Amino acid sequence: MSDVVRDAQSHPGYYLPEHAQYRLQQLRDHMRFLARLAQPRTQAEEQARQPAIRLDELACCLELLAEQVTQALAQVQWPARLELDVSDNARADDGEAA
């Protein structure tokens, strides 16, 4: 077992598998994109009462984001238990550092 794994196991906390962390990073980037998209680009858009993006389109985006966040949060492990994948277990059994 590597020092990194031992160190992670000695500190209580929440752990996410790598794919769930990646999903959250993608969600963050997508939310930043939507925020930029929603910003007015002209003075006329800024003064308009009606937003350039329809509310049903925005609702759809937010529903998809909520679904993605729910899937990522379902991967949270507590109490802090770190699951190794098969290749990490094999390396640990062989005495190799992960």
Q: Quick: pLDDT tens for 23-47.
A: 889 889 988 888 887 777 788 877 7
Rounded mean pLDDT, 51-68: 83
Q: Does the structure show a pLDDT above 60 at 88?
A: no
Q: Does the structure show a pLDDT above 50 at 98?
A: no
Rounded mean pLDDT, 59-73: 87
Q: Quote the CA–CA distance of 77 and 13 in Å, as a whole number.
A: 9
* pLDDT tens profile 7-27: 656 667 778 888 888 888 988
Q: Are 52 and 37 in contact (CB under 8 A)?
A: no
